Amino acid sequence: MLIAVMTALFMGLGYLVGGTGGMAIAFVVAAAMNLFSYWNADKLVLRMHHAVEVDQHSAPEYYGIVAGLAQRAGLPMPRVYVIQEDQPNAFATGRNPENAAVAATTGLLERMTPEEVAGVMAHELAHVQNRDTLIMTITATLAGAISMLGNFAFFMGGNRENNNPLGAVGLILGIIVAPIAAMIVQMAISRTREYSADRRGAEICGNPRWLASALAKLAQAAGRTVNYDAERNPATAHMFIVNPLSGQRMDNLFSTHPDTQNRIEALLALEGGHLAAAPRHAPEPVAYESGAEQAGPWARGLDRNRRPDAAPRRGPWG
């Protein structure tokens, strides 16, 4: 239904720009984009954000965390990516669990404890398990196309020979209303899926406080750090765990994410004994260091378990 709404917006904008012929062309383009997005949108999104694939050799701890969580969730091992970006954030993409990918920024991996990284990546794997990634990726592609078509309508405004049936009113609708409507659809998608992914993510990692702690840090840092790739591609904002837009653009007026504090409170409520029974397939807890007591995310990660003469720990990215 949501893909149909986005396709209808695209066709309607084509009608406003070029009349019946424009609508027909927009329909053909939308159908082709839906088909192309199904197979390739994940690659496009990863390329937009300059994500680099890593493995157990190039990023052993980060990769190991994802591998352990995927096993706990009963999911195939996704491809794992790192984005060279100071803003802490992460997202998942892919048309199904067998072709999924997860990506985290270097800012997230450098600032979070291993437990918090696990909470964030469990949230992303929950999106994969809930099949949210396909609709979110296709929507990002279509929303970007609607924005581009709106820009095209702006440049067509001075051409008296265009077939716009509504004249200046149609151009205003095309330039302003259609992109805003696309953002509202994106917002609806993300808001309805984030709470579900938070809950399932808490089940996967086994501790809702890990994700709650990470969300608190993410909310504080994301607004202070500009993610230039996200600013250039705002149609992908709803894919991230927290809104990557800094507020320097109008796009940020329409938040694609529910209030972070509400998400944290919902997670902490799960800790009171209401967390759904055990993660699927009843896996054993993920071990990050052999023989070391795991520290909660409100402390300083696992560092308190290190011997004074131990070598400095590498971050969870490798």
Catalytic residues: 124
* Cα–Cα distance measured from residue 137 to residue 133, given in angstroms and rounded to the nearest whole number: 6
* Cα–Cα distance measured from residue 79 to residue 253, given in angstroms and rounded to the nearest whole number: 33
CA torsion through residues 105, 111, 114, 119, sign? negative
* Cα–Cα distance measured from residue 39 to residue 238, given in angstroms and rounded to the nearest whole number: 20
In the beta sheet, which residues pair with residue 80? 54, 102
What's the chain look like in SS3? CHHHHHHHHHHHHHHHHHHHHHHHHHHHHHHHHHHHHHHHHHHHHHHHCCEEEECCCCCHHHHHHHHHHHHHHCCCCCEEEEECCCCCCEEEECCCHHHCEEEEEHHHHHHCCHHHHHHHHHHHHHHHHCCHHHHHHHHHHHHHHHHHHHHHHHHHCCCCCCCCCCHHHHHHHHHHHHHHHHHHHHHHHHHHHHHHHHHHHHHHHCCHHHHHHHHHHHHHHHCCCCCHHHHHCHHHHHHECCCCCCCCCHHHHCCCCCCHHHHHHHHHHHCCCCCCCCCCCCCCCCCCCCCCCCCCCCCCCCHHHCCCCCCCCCCCCC
* Cα–Cα distance measured from residue 124 to residue 83, given in angstroms and rounded to the nearest whole number: 15
Q: Please check if 293 is assigned to a binding site.
A: no
Q: Please check if 127 is assigned to a binding site.
A: yes
Q: Please check if 98 is assigned to a binding site.
A: no
Q: Which residue ranges are tagged as binding site for Zn(2+)?
A: 123, 127, 194
Q: Which residue ranges are tagged as binding site?
A: 123, 127, 194
